[in-house]
Amino acid sequence: MSAARLNFMPLLAFLIIALMLVSINFAGKPKRGGGWQEISREVSDFSLPLLIGKGEFKSLELKGRVTILSIFASWCLPCAAEHEFLMKIASDKRLEGKAIQLIGINWRDKENDALAYLEKRGNPYSKTAIDKKGGIAVMLGIAGVPETFLIDKNGRAVAKFSGNINSQIAEEFITRALKLDANQ
Amino acid sequence: MKWLFFLAFVVLIGNAFSFAPEKKLDNPVDEKRAQKIFQSLRCTVCEGQSLAESDASLAYGIRGAIRDKVREGVSDKQIMAYLTERYGIEILQNPPLQKSTLVLWLMPIVLLLLGLGFALKAQKTS
């Protein structure tokens, strides 16, 4: 074997190891990170206590209405960053009179902190449920907070946005919700 | 200065109790089964940790969901299917051999064979 070919060996070994590491990193990973993800997931039956008022939020309430479901926590900084855009969705005139609701799920939080969080920033949700153990959000397949789901009138989650929403994403949620409402 | 340390201690202790404590299953057999499932899963938001040892909020949530399923009598296989549907095979400590993981499984063997080949050739030339 010539000296030139032997010198090439470390580079080849490096490339092979690099390829292996890249493969390990991407093997079997679902699409993750910030952004939209199209999904098709039947939301299982569940009921959660309400944060404000008495009673429960039941998954049955997802039927017959398009739902924008926001999962948030008071300790989550990106949640605070997206809050103003949730408020904009809640007050958007185009949604008035439509079968579209904005529901909040407070995830793994302290009730008093969650209440103070909404009192300080305003409450965009028509109902807010408490997922103290975090299992309902796992059923939905969250990878962290905040995550916002779009659920059709049959109670099927059709899309989710991971990360904090901004003005453009809020507009996309409104457009998609209106489209779902019109088509179902 | 002592007061400062005391204050820091109180704040840290307060944070430690911020969330609902992890409640184990009443039935020790079920809890053991749940623990075994935790060990076979990875924390998807913290590299290099199993679900059993992770302190990430998502890991707490997933462990809670698994305990609920175990309590309901759902089989291990069904629990794995439930989680891989949501988090991909990335959540498994031992992902199955399939198209997306083929390189991952075969690369160590290819690397070993290449290394052996190179070593033999180098030995011959010397």
pLDDT of residue A102: 98
- By the 8 A CB rule, do A152 and A182 touch? no
From the list A23, A108, A110, which residue is nearest B57 (CB)?
A: A108
On chain B, the residues whose CB falls within 8 A of the CB of A24 are: 104
From the list B61, B108, B122, which residue is nearest A138 (CB)?
A: B61
B30, B34, B75, B86 from B26: Cα distances, Å: 8, 12, 18, 27
CA B2 to chain centre: 40
Residue A102, Ramachandran bin (φ over 0: left; ψ between -120 and 50: alpha; else beta): beta
Per the CB < 8 Å rule, is A108 touching B61?
yes
- Among A177, A76, A86, CA closest to A125: A86
Angle between helix axes B57-71 and B76-87 (nearest 10 degrees) is 150
Interface test with B, best of A8, A21, A23, A44 (most B CBs within 10 A): A23
Between B117 and B31, the higher pLDDT residue = B31
Across the A:B interface, residue pairs with CB atoms under 8 Å apart total: 97
Does position B125 have pLDDT exceeding 90, yes or no?
A: no
Backbone phi and psi for residue A62, each to the nearest 5 degrees, phi listed first: -85, -15
pLDDT of residue A70: 98
Cα dihedral B4/A75/A167/A43 (nearest 10): 170
Average pLDDT over residues B28-49: 92
Q: What is the pLDDT of residues B82-95, one digit of tens each?
A: 999 999 888 999 88
B99 falls in which pLDDT band (50, 70, 90)? Answer: confident
Q: What is the ipTM of this complex?
A: 0.72
Between A148 and B47, the higher pLDDT residue = A148
CA angle A74, A129, A79 (to 5 degrees): 30
- By the 8 A CB rule, do B58 and A143 touch? yes
B126 falls in which pLDDT band (50, 70, 90)? Answer: confident
Does position B7 have pLDDT exceeding 70, yes or no?
A: no
- Extract the tokens encoding B77: 């296989």
Widest Cα–Cα separation across chain A: 81
Does position B4 have pLDDT exceeding 80, yes or no?
A: no
Does position B113 have pLDDT exceeding 90, yes or no?
A: no
% of residues, chain B, pLDDT over 90: 44
- Extract the tokens encoding B96: 């199955």
- For residues A44 and B68, give the distance between their C-alpha atoms in angstroms, rounded to a whole number: 14
Signed CA dihedral, B55, B60, B61, B67: sign only: positive
From the list A6, A28, A41, which residue is nearest B89 (CB)?
A: A28
- Among B9, B10, B16, B13, CA closest to B55: B16
On chain B, the residues whose CB falls within 8 A of the CB of A157 are: none
Average pLDDT over residues B3-11: 61
pLDDT of residue A107: 95
**Tens of pLDDT, residue by residue, chain A (184 residues):** 555 565 677 777 778 777 777 666 655 454 455 799 999 999 989 999 999 999 999 999 999 999 999 999 999 999 999 999 999 999 999 999 999 999 999 999 999 999 999 999 999 999 999 999 899 999 999 988 999 999 999 999 999 999 999 999 999 999 999 999 998 7
pLDDT of residue B17: 47
Average pLDDT over residues B17-25: 69
- Count of C-beta atoms within a 10 Å radius of residue A94: 11
